Structure formats: C-alpha cells, structure tokens
Structure 1
Amino acid sequence: MENNLLPDENSNNELLPTKLYKRRWYILMVFVYYAFVNGIQMTEYSSITDVVSKYYKVSHFMVNWTSLLYMILYPVLMIPASYIIEKKGLRVASLFGCFGTTIGTLIKLFSIGPNRFWVVMLGQFCTASSLVFIMCLPPKIAAVWFKPSEISMACSLGTLGPSLGNAFGYLLTVSIVNASDDIGQNLSILCWVLAILIIPVSVTVFCYFPEKPPLPPSISQSKYRRDAHKQKKISLFKSSNFPLGFFIHLLAYATNIGVFSTVIILLSEFVNAYFQNAVEDAGKMGFCMMAFGLFGSVAFGFYLDKTHKYKESCIFIYLVATVSIMLLTVALEKRSLICAYIICSIFGVCINPYIPVGFEFGIELTYPSDESTVAGLLFAASQFMSVIMAVSVAHINVYYGSFYALTTLSVVLTVGTLIQTCVPNDLRRQRIFKMERHQVLFRK
C-alpha cells in the first residue's frame, strides 16, 4: 500500500497523500459482472441465427441486427456518454450502464411470441445503449482506483466483462435453445435466466458504488484532484493531444475490432455453410474463441505492466490473428471440425486482448487526455467499422460464399497489420510516471 506526500513544484498547495484501498477489487469485480450480463445479450440471438429466424419468421439479416444494433448505437451515443462520465463521474456512468442493461433484460421477458420480434429489438436497443457507458469505463476505473503498476492489468480485467459475456452467451444460448424443442418456452427460460443474473447486481450498484476512493492511488490522480476546481479540461482534440500517431492507431484499432465483431456475428453462418446441423458446434466454437481470449487478456495485462511494450504487442496480436483467419478458412474448406475448434481458440487468444492493449496504447499516445474519452473514441470508431464490415462481409457470404467472406477478412487484417506498424511508439504516460517516481525518490 502506497502512502506518499509530494508538494507541487509550481504551487504552495500540497498534494493529497496517496493510498491503495482493497475495495478497488470490489469496484472492478462489480463492474465486470454487470458488463458480463450485458455482453451475453450481444450474442444471445446471433449465436442461434437459424433457430431465431425460424421462430420469429424473420430473415437471418434481421437476426444479425440484434448484434449490429450494439455497433450502430455506440458511435451515436459516445459523445453524450463521454460528457456524462467526465461531468458526473464513475457512479453515475455505472448506474446508466447497469440499469440500462437491467431495463433491456426485463423488456425481453415479454418478447415470447412469433410476432414479437419488435420487443426483442426494443430490449436490445436498451442493452446496446447501455454498452456505451460500459466500454468507456475500464481505463477510467483503472486510473481512478489503481496504482500505475496495476493500470494495464486492471484495464484488461475490466474489459473481460463484455468479452466473457459474449463467450458465455454462445454457450448459454445453445445449451437452452435448440430447433428440436419448444423454441418459445426455451427462449422464455433464457430471458428469465438473464433477468435473475442482472437484478442482484443492479441493487448492489445502487447501494454501493462510490465515485472515487477517499485518497487517490497515485500522484497523477492526486494532482488531478487538486487541480479539479480550476476546471481546466485537457481537450483530446487539441493538436498537441491528438497527434497523427493516435489517428493511425485509431484506424488500426477500428480495423482489428471490426474483423473481431464480424467473426462473432457471422461465425454461426460460416460454420453452418460447411457442416450440417452444426448450430451447437458453432456456439461452442464461439465460446472457445471468447473464453480462451480471456486468458490472453490477463496474460497481456501482466506483460504490459512489466514491459510497457504496447506497440509490439499490438503488432504481434495482428500478425497471429491474420494467420488464424487464414488457417480457419483452410480448416473449414477441408471440413475439419477439430481444427476449426483449435483455430477459433487461437484466434480468440490473440485478438481478444487487443481491446485492452489498444485502449492502453491509445491512452499512452494522448496522455494526459481523459481516459474515458480516449477509450470512447477508440470504441466508437471500431463500432462504426464493425457495422460496415459486418454488413459487407454478410453480403459477400450470401452472394459469393463463406470462402470469399473469410478471405476478405484475412486481407483486411493484413492491411491493418501494416497500418499498426506505422504508429509511433510515443509512450507519454510512462514518461510522466517515470518522472513522478524519480520525484518521490528525490523527496525521500
């Protein structure tokens, strides 16, 4: 536990002492839990496209919109959400994220019936709208509650919630709902399971989810609190804080997550194109992809806290993801189900960690801009790209086949790898942290 006191160089005011609180893990885990429930619902219907299409008598493309809605709403709501997070802080943003998820989940309890697909979309609209308050928060929680040497790990753990939810969504959905039983009854069970999962955490967030710890965890946060009354906001869009390097990284990030989201949405259709009655296998492959990705996120979090090799990690992730999609195409063409499982797992290990690694690299490039604003901008760009890619690749899949759809994703990842190599390795935040550590040692 740190407890340092450092006077400011340019002011007579002393900084607050710094202290780490054990409750930081409670804050992080509560956030991860409700983000997890939200993440389940992104893949809730798209993981069983054929079944949902049959029950509600809608096209596969309409079912895909239950996931695409998440990607479309994020860029639209990112600016107001970032404003709320900056002005009102973590507690208000957490209430928006958690209660929005709860409302959407409860709405879908009334979606059972072949003519009630509109109720499904209304519920998805609420849960998708709340995602914008969820994805902006991991870097903010890490900065406000954790010390500098834990920030990358905390951010990685924070992003596990939606990813773990996506993974569990594949497994939970195919376990409960299948084409051979009473689809309506099984969908009802699925909706009630989600409602039971979200209600307790909503009560928890309402009762206790503090804005910030009594004392800051780092000197940077101590300075931020001391100067907060001056209302001198650091704009991300000033030329000094929005360098060309960040713009290049933004493009690379959007491309990578665009491919990732497209695979999540269309995996069931890819697998079903090569294997008959493979709805359950597609769901399990999706689970493997996301679940193994969680291990990758944790591993990269530890690695980055020790080495701070953000650019190198991004390039490595890109290269392995590109090769994985190429190998997945070969495995499906060869009708090798086991190889498809293995390659999906490898793809998840290597591409899922790009979400927190890319967040952290973007924050390094734009420091000291607000973490939630940077994360929001990165994710908004990625969601915009996800919609374009998912719709485009879905049409390629329909008109030309899965081989050409997967080949398109391989080409896009190759281009993205080249873009990522052009990002300058400008670690602004690490330079400041290093300077602060030297100041503390000098004072002692």
Structure 2
Amino acid sequence: MEDTQAVLKEEGQTETVTYTAYKRRWAMMVTVMLLNISNTGMGFNVAPVAYKAADYFEVTQYDITWFSQVYLILPVALSFVSTYIFNKFDMKAGVHIGSALNCVGALTRAVATSGLIADLWTQYVVSLIGQVVAPIVVTKKQQIPTLNYIYGGLALLAEIATLICVTRSRPPTPPSRSAEQGTTARAPYLQQLKQTFTSPPFLGLLIMTGVLTGFYLCLTTLSQQMLCSKGYSDLFSGVVVAIFSIAGFVGSIAIAVVENRTSALADITKFANAFGVIFGIMLMEVYLVPGQHALLIISSILFGFFGCGVYPISLEIGVEITYPVEETISTTLIFVTGQILGVLMNYTANVLSSDLPPELQDIEVCTKNITSDLQARDYSGVVMGLMGVLTFIVILFTVFFRTPYKRREVEQTTDMSDTAEPTTSTCGR
C-alpha cells in the first residue's frame, strides 16, 4: 500500500495524518472493467453484424438497432435508482446488485437465442472487443447464439470477480484528505442532486460530453450499416470502431499524463474536446466515400485518441466541479446524458436514412448472402447533420467553459509529502 502524510496546521499546532491508497484498488478496477466489457458488449454485440442478425431473427435492421437502444434507454430510466442505492447503501451493495442483474440478463439472453425457447421469442475499453469479435464469430446467421453465449460467459466471469474482490464499500482508511472530508461534508441525496443541477459549469460539461458520447454511441451502433452501403465488409467496419476504442484508451492515458504534469484540467478538457470534434468530422467525411480504407483507419485513430480519450478526464473534472457531491452522481449524469443523446441520434439516423443512390447499389455488401428481403440504406444526410451539431456545441463549450477545482482546493489546504511502503495484496484482502 502507498502511504501519504498530510501535515495539518491549525492555531499554532501541528498534526500529522496518514492517508493510505491500498493496492487492492487495482483488483476493484479490474472487476469494474470486466463488468463494463460484458455489459457494454451485450448492448452492442449484434451491431457489427446487423444484417445477419436481422436475417436470423427475421426482422428488419431497424429492429436490430433496438438491441442497442434498449441498452441505452434502460440506464436512463434507472439512473436515479442506481445513484440512490450507491448513496444510501454504499458501493459494495450497488456493485453486487448490478453484477448479479448483468449476469442473469446475459445468461437469459444466451439461452433465449440457443433454440431452447427461440421458437417462442422470435432484441457505450468496452466496444473494442465486441466490434471485432462479432464479425469473426458470426460469419453466417446461425452463429448468433454462439455470440450470446460468449458474452454470457464473460458476464459470469465478472460476477465471480465481483463476489471475490468487492468485499467492502471503502478502504479501512481514506486515501486522501478530500476523500475524508467529502464523505463527512455531503448533504442528503436530493440536496446533492440540486447542487449538481444548479451548477452552470457542470451543465456545460454535461452537454459537451453528452453530445460527444452520444456521437460515439451512434457510430458504435450504426457504423456497420453506414459502411456496408459503401462496400466495406462487416469485419472492416468492426475494426474501424475497435480502432477508435483502442486509440481512446491510449489517448486517455496520454491526456491524463499531460494533465498531471500541467494541472491545466479545464484547458486540456477543452483542447481534447475540440480536436475530438475536428477529427470526428473528418471521420464522417470519410464515411461518405467508398474505397478509403487507409483514410478510415487514420481518421479513426485521431478521433479515438481525442474524442474517446477525453471521456475519463471529463468525468474527473465533473467530480471537481460538483465536490463534495458523491462521485457517482456526476459521473452517472454524464453517462446517462450520453445514453439519451445516443438514442436520439440513432433514432434520427434511422428515420432520416434514405434509399441508396444507383451508384452505390452495385457496391453495397449489406445484403450479401442475406435471404430476407432487407434493403441497404444511405446515411449521408444524417452524417452531415451530426457534423453541424458537433461543431455548434464544441464552439460554445470552448468559449464559455470556466470552473474552479473544488476538490483540489481541499487537497491544497495541506502540505503534502509522499512516502511509499511496499506490501502485498490479494483480491480478497
């Protein structure tokens, strides 16, 4: 574990308080990653093979889009329930309930498509695995159940990790002064919600991050349908989305390192959002053109690095803005806003899609080897609209976003000196 000593000076007296960051937090992080991968994977696992899935279930590709829409809509309906559980009963209860429901849902979905009851029922790290795994596993429509069993097994693994690793809601001692004071200074739940919703800087961050996240979720859901109409294969479409997910992971690390060295949290957030939008627009432009595999990969890397990489630091600054409000409230609101806007963008894209122009009808691969009467669609108008929305929002955010760092101000009230004490730790410790 790592010990940090804080020297508190009040009225001429000096008191040394030791805060401890336990190594078992890494086990908690891995558990949460498994939960996110399995849960998000189930939300988008058929999106990269939308036409094959539509053929398997004997529905339209629009109906398949609702597999992902349900994943985006339900968290909106239950977000306040989940934040209340975390606030009232603490983290351990919230994580265990979520993991159990995730596991039950995944296994039910797997069984439902395996043929046992399929005749009776004819349905935002993360995305990285699903976008590539699905096209590899599902080369023909009969392999859809196999895909669901893979994600069912992943959810079961996440549930086992939760049972082993999540044994308490917080460490025996607080990791920092802000963590200690934040817990004792928190108002009742409804008052915390009021504080969050009446913070102009947070509302600005909420809109900016929500729009960019919604855009990402829209691409995650509809990229295969957009790109197959331009002649790109299911596997390549999945690779494009996986690339900006991988680049987002790398970008988040790089952005965090720069922020850690400069402490310019707000400026870096604005910078990364601006470049995320610029390269997102570049990516959309390339989506409109057939046969541009190299440009798609390059623009995916650039968009992912900034547009996806900015997400963790946006959550960080959200906590800074709303401190001492419980962290799950601000992060959940950002997450839910992205879900809502993702649903709206997906729905609008389906409504505004049009028939393929004659020059694309000979190169589209959406309906290749499909026995159902499905038609490929053109999303060019939708892409242009998304570019306009992104441009408008990021200009407003860059010009007007300003905020104090409330949590860091608490940390700066003490003189800090770091020492490290090596130790060993296990999941169950």
State the TM bucket, normalised to the shorter chain: 0.7 to 0.9
* Residues 344 and 6 of structure 1: CA distance in aligned 2, closer, same or farther (over 3 Å): same
- Contact 1:47 1:170 survives alignment (8 Å): yes
Runs of 5+ consecutive residues of structure 1 not aligned to the other structure:
122-161
* Residues 399 and 414 of structure 1: CA distance in aligned 2, closer, same or farther (over 3 Å): farther
* Residues 96 and 302 of structure 1: CA distance in aligned 2, closer, same or farther (over 3 Å): farther
1:256 aligned onto 2:228:
no
Deviations 1:380-425 (A, max 9, x none): 2221122112211222233683222211111111012112121113
Q: Give the structure 2 partner of residue 141 of structure 1.
A: none
Runs of 5+ consecutive residues of structure 2 not aligned to the other structure:
357-377, 419-429
SS at match of 1:435: coil
User: Normalising by structure 2, what TM-score?
Assistant: 0.82
Whichever residue aligns with residue 169 of structure 1, its letter is G
Higher strand share: 2
* Percent of pairs with identical residues: 17
CA distance in 1, matches of 2:82, 2:106: 21
Two-structure CA RMSD over aligned residues (Å): 2.9
1:413 aligned onto 2:390:
yes
Q: Give the structure 2 partner of residue 158 of structure 1.
A: none
Q: After TM superposition, list the pairs within 5 Å mapping 1:349-388 onto structure 2.
A: 349-388=305-344
Displacement of 1:188: 2.6
Q: Give the structure 1 partner of residue 347 of structure 2.
A: 391
Q: Give the structure 1 partner of residue 100 of structure 2.
A: 99
Q: Give the structure 1 partner of residue 56 of structure 2.
A: 55
- Contact 1:111 1:117 survives alignment (8 Å): no
Q: Give the structure 2 partner of residue 318 of structure 1.
A: 273
1:404 aligned onto 2:359:
no
Q: Give the structure 2 partner of residue 144 of structure 1.
A: none
Whichever residue aligns with residue 350 of structure 1, its letter is F
The range that moved more, 84-93 or 307-316, is 307-316
SS at match of 2:28: helix
Q: After TM superposition, list the pairs within 5 Å mapping 1:59-208 onto structure 2.
A: 59-112=60-113, 116=118, 121=123, 164-179=125-140, 183-184=141-142, 186-208=143-165
Q: Give the structure 1 partner of residue 360 of structure 2.
A: none
Q: Give the structure 2 partner of residue 217 of structure 1.
A: 175
**Which residue, out of 223, 243, 264, partners 1:267?**
223
Q: Give the structure 2 partner of residue 18 of structure 1.
A: 19
- Contact 1:329 1:403 survives alignment (8 Å): no
Deviations 1:261-300 (A, max 9, x none): 1111111111112116x11211111111212211112222
SS at match of 2:59: coil
* Residues 239 and 190 of structure 1: CA distance in aligned 2, closer, same or farther (over 3 Å): closer
CA distance in 1, matches of 2:181, 2:190: 14
CA distance in 2, matches of 1:54, 1:243: 48
CA distance in 1, matches of 2:161, 2:108: 21
Displacement of 1:376: 1.2
User: Normalising by structure 1, what TM-score?
Assistant: 0.80
- Contact 1:112 1:188 survives alignment (8 Å): yes
CA distance in 1, matches of 2:385, 2:182: 45
- Contact 2:255 2:310 survives alignment (8 Å): no
CA distance in 1, matches of 2:188, 2:145: 51
- Contact 1:47 1:174 survives alignment (8 Å): yes
Q: After TM superposition, list the pairs within 5 Å mapping 1:303-342 onto structure 2.
A: 303-335=258-290, 336-342=292-298
Displacement of 1:91: 1.0
Displacement of 1:328: 2.6
Corresponding pairs, count: 390
* Residues 392 and 232 of structure 1: CA distance in aligned 2, closer, same or farther (over 3 Å): closer
Displacement of 1:120: 8.8
CA distance in 2, matches of 1:281, 1:240: 41
Displacement of 1:47: 1.3
* Residues 117 and 353 of structure 1: CA distance in aligned 2, closer, same or farther (over 3 Å): farther
Whichever residue aligns with residue 146 of structure 2, its letter is I
CA distance in 2, matches of 1:402, 1:189: 30
- Contact 1:6 1:15 survives alignment (8 Å): yes
* Residues 412 and 370 of structure 1: CA distance in aligned 2, closer, same or farther (over 3 Å): same
Displacement of 1:57: 0.9
Higher helix share: 1
CA distance in 2, matches of 1:404, 1:84: 42
CA distance in 1, matches of 2:121, 2:107: 11
Displacement of 1:241: 7.9
Q: Which has the higher contact order (CA 8 A, sep 6+)?
A: 2
- Contact 1:241 1:369 survives alignment (8 Å): no
CA distance in 2, matches of 1:239, 1:27: 29
SS at match of 1:426: coil
